[in-house]
Structure 1
């Protein structure tokens, strides 16, 4: 084929020069050799291009075949792992959990599917604990099955940490209705995908979200029940949209101590603080919006040492019906804090020992049941301020407006 192409190119070149009608001696041997050399070079170049095209097509076919083979192998691993999760043996289920986690690490394209299966296992209601004395065999099995759930939580928590070699931080996590009755460790986790704890029940053990970062996509604890567990959000960083709307804090301990609320929106809209202890001690409210609008405070809630330095914190339409809410050593040094339309019908709301009252909340009544205000106002706040924040009559979070002396 190459020879035919070369001969054709030579003939074409000679024809273009007028051969064989050229006068005798017009086309000397040197010119003929140059024509042959050029023709052969062109043929070689064309051959090289053809070879590259063929090699590229072979590579694509090989890669496609390898991709299909990898997909087949991943699918087989997935099927085997999920089959193990349905076993009656706790040991086999545990093996299935580790197999799925390993597959999620190896298979970026199927990682979310593996995580979905692990979360779905957690959403299945746990069996009630059998009596250890009356049914020791079933109690041993129950404890082993509980270990399967604990392992799933441990693996997910580990993979959400920023320093894990293969991070699942951006994955969607569906913990809707999951019962956390024996604790979980999400310390240092980075939640940057869509995460839902809607309706989850924190009923026992210790669940740690300490040093956790809530970034990017929404994270929701809407309707969650904090009923007996010790749950820590200590030193967590809230910089995305996080919802505790309708959550119920009825018993146990929930701590947001030293947490930072500095961007976007964190909402406790219509949450119920009815029992146990909830602490926002030393929390920093310095950007974004933190809303407790419509919440009910009838338990023990502490804002001791909290810093309200910028951003907006709203207690609009909050019901203080019983219990105690304290703001000891809190600093109201900037930002906008609203108490518009709040109801003070019982318990105590103690603002007597604030550390900084230079930018007091708006909407507080001069007197109300259980409301305890500072006895003296610092001198720097006795004169009208050149910059104040007023809340519209609607009770919604409003814009800052410049207010000066008449």
Structure 2
């Protein structure tokens, strides 16, 4: 704030400083006026001594009154100037304090930016370390940075997910040869350590997306997770909420848990689930693209005594997806279009549970090109029940028919 800006705070006309010559002139005028008044009054009084004395008293009284008035005006002006000086000093002090606060805020902001930059650089260096313990320290430093700085949380998650998308070391734990299990080499130890680092990174993401987390721990800013092509181990997003999850081409090893998972969109094209995958209680508000995927260890989308069935509120595609035995959709809810074209099931009707899947809109159409109607797995059909609900049931297959020898021959419907 400049002095000119400070002066603009004062309202009213600007007073000029009265010089001492001006005061002297005013006193001369008062004295001259008093003398002239006295002469005029003496002329009126004539030769009467009493009247002449009154004339003198009157003239001096008027002169003194004029002088007193001038003195009061000067005193009032001096007081006004003192008030202006006090106000000006207060404004200058406030302006100085404001400038100091702005400088301090800018300095603190610069220091914070430098500190965050240093933390990012240090954490990035740690993530690139050959030592697993150092990489873990880098992950936890990033987590602390995101927890203390909400504006940096998206960047922190991007850094962590980028790390998870990095390729694994070429060595594989537990590789076997003709002579038995591979020895515990330095490469295999490195792999074991890298798996633990990745599990820690996965846990950091899950810890801050959970719906049961306290307000300070849940990172509301995170609405997109990209793990495309990542190699994940015992991955879990159970009880987590996220806007969009992208795991195209990812490989999930071990147990994969999406229990009570909520998301708006899921993209899992060409994803491989090598272990068991659990989607019980999951809710997909938007499209779910799980095409060309492989569930090699079985998958649970069903309802039971502990969880509700998976609910697909919008279009879902399992096109050309391969399901292993122990896949179960019983109790799952399909609210919109479904595409199972080209889907393969390795099990039979005793190990594949598609029956009792609820179809809320049998006439729903796909948003894909052509707006095709829903396509269900080969050998399955829809049936309405007495309560008005529509369920997916398997057609009866004639005994002695090999499921891999050709299309099944329908001979009615299973009860």
User: Does the CA-based 8 Å contact 1:249-1:272 persist in structure 2?
Assistant: yes
Higher Rg? 2
Q: CA deviation at 1:371?
A: 7.8
Change in 2 beyond 3 A, CA 1:371/1:242: farther
Q: Match for residue 184 of structure 2?
A: 136
For the 8 Å contact 1:281–1:305, the answer to whether it is kept is yes
Corresponding residue for residue 242 of structure 2: 191
Does the Cα contact within 8 Å between 1:187 and 1:211 map onto a contact in 2?
Answer: yes
Separation in structure 2 between the aligned mates of residue 268 and residue 30 of structure 1, nearest angstrom: 95
Cα 1:134–1:282 change in 2 (3 A) is closer
Corresponding residue of 1:175: 227
Cα distance 1:145–1:359, how it changes in 2: closer, same or farther (>3 A)?
closer
1:73, 1:124 → 2: CA distance? 27
Q: CA deviation at 1:238?
A: 2.0
State the distance in 2 between where 1:109 and 1:339 align.
43
| Deviation for aligned residue 1:28 | 4.3
Closer, same or farther: CA 14–260 of 1 in aligned 2, 3 Å? farther
**Pair 294,54 (structure 1): closer, same or farther in 2 beyond 3 Å:** farther
Correspondence list, 1:4-403, <5 A:
12=16, 24=30, 25=66, 27-127=69-169, 128-131=171-174, 133-138=181-186, 139-162=188-211, 163-164=213-214, 165-171=216-222, 172-180=224-232, 182-192=233-243, 194-202=244-252, 204-215=253-264, 218-226=265-273, 228-239=274-285, 241-257=286-302, 258-259=308-309, 261=311, 263=313, 265-268=314-317, 270-286=319-335, 289-292=336-339, 294=341, 296-299=343-346, 302-309=353-360, 313-314=364-365, 340=373, 348-349=379-380, 355-356=385-386, 358=388, 369-370=409-410, 372-373=412-413
Q: Shift in Å at residue 101 of structure 1?
A: 1.8
For 1:87 and 1:93, locate their aligned partners in 2 and report how far apart those are by CA, in whole Å.
6
Q: Distance in 1 between matches of 2:133 and 2:192?
A: 12
1:168/1:341 Cα in 2 relative to 1: closer, same or farther (>3 Å)? closer
* Residues 1:343 and 1:90: Cα distance change in structure 2 (over 3 Å): closer
Residues 342, 60 of structure 1: CA spacing in aligned structure 2 closer, same or farther, 3 A cutoff?
A: closer
Q: Distance in 1 between matches of 2:71 and 2:128?
A: 85
Deviation of residue 11 (structure 1)?
5.3
Deviation per CA, 1:121-167: give whole Å up to 9, x if none: 21122234245754314233321221111111111111111314332
Deviations 1:312-345 (A, max 9, x none): 655899xxxxxxxxxxxxxxxxxxxx9958588x
1:328 paired residue number: none
SS at match of 2:296: strand
**How has the CA–CA distance of structure 1 residues 357 and 112 changed in structure 2, closer, same or farther, with 3 Å as cutoff?**
same
**Shift in alpha-carbon separation, 1:313–1:296, aligned structure 2, 3 A:** farther
SS of 1:184's partner is coil
Question: For structure 2, which runs of at least 5 residues remain unmatched after alignment?
Answer: 31-65, 176-180, 303-307, 396-407
- Asked if the contact 1:234–1:255 (Cα under 8 Å) also holds between the matched residues in 2, the reply is yes
Change (3 A) 1:166 1:290: farther
- Deviations for 1:153-207, whole angstroms, at most 9, x for unmatched residues? 1111111113143323532322001123x31121111113x431111123x3111
Secondary structure of 1:36's aligned partner: helix
Structure-2 residue corresponding to 1:327: none
Q: Is the 8 A contact 1:10 1:39 kept in 2?
A: no
Give RMSD over aligned pairs.
4.0
Q: Distance in 2 between matches of 1:10 and 1:32?
A: 16
Deviation at 1:54, TM superposition (A): 2.0
Q: CA deviation at 1:305?
A: 3.6
Whole-Å separation in 2 of the counterparts to 1:102 and 1:339: 49
- Paired with 1:308 and 1:137, the residues of 2 have a C-alpha distance of 53
TM-score (norm 2): 0.67
Distance 1:39 1:256 in 2: 85
Render the CA deviation track for 1:92-142: whole Å, top value 9, x for unaligned: 222222222222222333332322222122112223424575431423332
